[in-house]
Amino acid sequence: MTDQSEVASERISEAEHAVMEALWDKSPLTAAEVCDRVCETRVWSMPTVKTLLGRLVAKKAVATEPDGRRFLYSPLVERTEYLGRESRRLVDRLFGGRAAPLIAHLAESEALSADDLAEIEELLRELRR
């Protein structure tokens, strides 16, 4: 994996994110192996996967390595780095940089289960220690 500052700051689309998830679950993978993991559920073809992989390589989110006549693809950014960056963007853009209004919104819209609330309470207790 690489330092977050070395990775292009371009956003990863929802479709590209599906490819990243496949690579985060197991890598390196060939384009065919990525397609095996995502094409059926997304109703994509191999050319679609190759296009998405090409975009991710251009964004410096994925590395390629020649393997005979094919390429192996590996993520250059860790899932936790990506989630952290995207979470921060969401909070900054929609909630003025504050997480509390996000939690309040989720609670008010009934998007949080009792288990979610218990987990949040436990996290808060741990942070106070």
Cα dihedral 80, 85, 91, 92, rounded to 10, equals 160
Q: Do 35 and 56 share a domain, yes or no?
A: yes
Domain range for 50 is 4-77
Q: Measured between alpha carbons, how far is residue 79 from residues 25, 127, 129 in Å?
A: 10, 23, 27
The domain that contains 93 carries what CATH number? 1.10.4040
Q: Mean pLDDT across the chain, nearest whole number?
A: 90
User: Which letter does DSSP use for residue 109 in this model?
Assistant: T
> 102-118: per-residue pLDDT in tens?
988 888 888 888 899 89
Q: What is the pLDDT of residue 112?
A: 87
Domain count, the chain: 2
> 66-77: per-residue pLDDT in tens?
999 999 999 999
Share of the chain above pLDDT 90, in %: 71
Under the banding of pLDDT at 50, 70 and 90, the label for residue 9 is low
pTM of the full predicted structure?
Answer: 0.78
> 77-111: per-residue pLDDT in tens?
999 999 999 999 999 999 999 989 998 888 888 88
